[in-house]
């Protein structure tokens, strides 16, 4: 099973994509892994993990424990594909406050 399949299985089983673990949300961790993996291996940047986590409801506005937002993590790594994805997701009104409004309906 690939890392992406494992991630999907965990999220399907109800893992909270916004839970903090070792100071990171799952979204900030996904962007960090993609960016750092690119720097260490030289492989092209991709947004597979970031896309999966967002599709399962991760809040693109939610910062890690140190206050760094997913967008800031993407900028740190010059992870332009993740930046574009996050900006589009945020422009759609996903994340902070939106989930609370939906819950009130």
Domain count, the chain: 1
pTM: 0.84
Residue range(s) defining the domain that contains residue 67: 20-104
Q: Is the pLDDT of residue 100 over 90?
A: no
* 13 within domain boundaries: no
Q: pLDDT digit string (tens) for 33-87?
A: 999 999 999 999 999 999 999 999 999 999 999 999 999 999 999 999 999 999 9
**Maximal CA-CA distance, the chain:** 46
The answer to which of 5-19, 25-39, 85-99 has the lowest mean pLDDT is 85-99
- Find the CATH number of the domain harbouring 94: 1.25.40
Is the separation of the CB atoms in 17 and 30 below 8 Å? no
Asked if 31 and 77 touch (Cβ cutoff 8 Å), the reply is yes
Residue 6 lies in a domain: no
3 in a structural domain: no
Residue 61 maps to a domain? yes
C-alpha–C-alpha distance, residues 15 and 30, integer Å? 14
């Amino acid at each position: 099973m690939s890392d992406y399949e494992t991630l999907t299985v965990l999220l399907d089983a109800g893992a909270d994509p916004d839970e903090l673990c070792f100071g990171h949300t799952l979204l900030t961790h996904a962007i960090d892994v993609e960016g750092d993996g690119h720097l260490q291996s030289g492989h092209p940047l991709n947004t597979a993990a970031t896309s999966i986590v967002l599709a399962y409801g991760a809040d693109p506005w939610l910062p890690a424990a140190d206050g760094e937002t997913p967008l800031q993590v993407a900028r740190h790594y010059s992870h332009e594909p993740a930046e574009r994805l996050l900006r589009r997701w945020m422009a759609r009104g996903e994340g902070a406050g939106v989930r609370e409004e939906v819950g009130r309906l």
